[in-house]
Amino acid sequence: MKNIIFALLLAHILMSSESHAEWFNQRANYLSTDGESVAFIPNVINGVREIVLDDGITIMPMSVKEDKGFVRLSYFYIPLATPKSSAVWTILGNDILELTKITTDDNGEVYYHFACTDPLLASDGPIVSYVYSERRGVIMFELLTDHPVKRYNKSYVLIDDAGVGKVLSVD
């Protein structure tokens, strides 16, 4: 009986209209290899939950969305459940999300290496690739940026204790 109640409760939570984004940290600062900082800031505008990327020049708001077991927090798709192996998902329309590898550090912390590609875009590679752990969130990422002559990759590393997508109950 307890199992049934638990299953029903779990189903209710998973199917609830409440956003699972609340489970994850959404405020973090990163520094690029060029010394440029970017901040991710949660916000609600016109009743829509979003995360704003503030790169010091312009702001880039993106609404928080959920699809196929992931929550999109700005550029990053954060898994709602721990991935067990490399896989590829078509997510939120066109984006191809690939878990390219899973690594573990000396402390046993597991890192998931994701790459996100827009297949409709003539691109030199993923729009964004990032390394994510449940305990620290996105610890580093690389963005592809368009330029009239050439496209550039810019790399960023986390400078806060908690990155975007850190599971808030884990510590």
Partner 1 sequence: MNNPLAGTDPSGYIADCILAIHCAEQGLPNPFKYPPNCPFCVSVGGDQSEDNGNKRNQSQSRNSENGETEKIGNQSLLNIKTLDDVTVPENWEPKYLALADDTRADQLDEADRKLNYLIDEATSEHFQAVEQALNDKSLTEERRAHLVEAQDNLRSAVFTYSRYDNPERLAQGGVDFDGGNPRIKFFRSMDKAMGSNGKPASGYGEKLRLGYEGIIDVIHHEGGHLIRPLHYVTNSQGGYSKLKRLDIEKVTNQYMLFLRNYEGR
Residue span 71-110 as binding mask against partner 1, x where in contact by CB under 8 A, dash where not: ----x------------------x----------------
Say whether residue 48 binds partner 1 (CB under 8 A): yes
Binding residue for partner 1, selected from 127, 131, 138, 167, defined by CB under 8 A: 127
> Cα 18 to chain center, whole Å?
18
Give ∠ CA 131-109-107 in degrees, rounded to 5. 135
Distance between start and end Cα atoms, the chain: 32
Name the one residue in this structure whose structure tokens are 């990155």: 163
- Per the DSSP assignment, residues forming a β-bridge with 39 are 29, 54
Q: How far is the CB of 68 from partner 1 (least distance, A)?
A: 18
Binding residue for partner 1, selected from 20, 23, 29, 60, defined by CB under 8 A: 60
Mark the segment that binds partner 1 (CB under 8 A) among 5-13, 18-26, 56-64, 99-107. 56-64
Say whether residue 50 binds partner 1 (CB under 8 A): yes
Is the CA virtual torsion 105, 127, 51, 158 positive or negative? positive
49 token code pair: 């939950």
Binding residue for partner 1, selected from 3, 16, 17, 58, defined by CB under 8 A: 58
50 token code pair: 């979003």
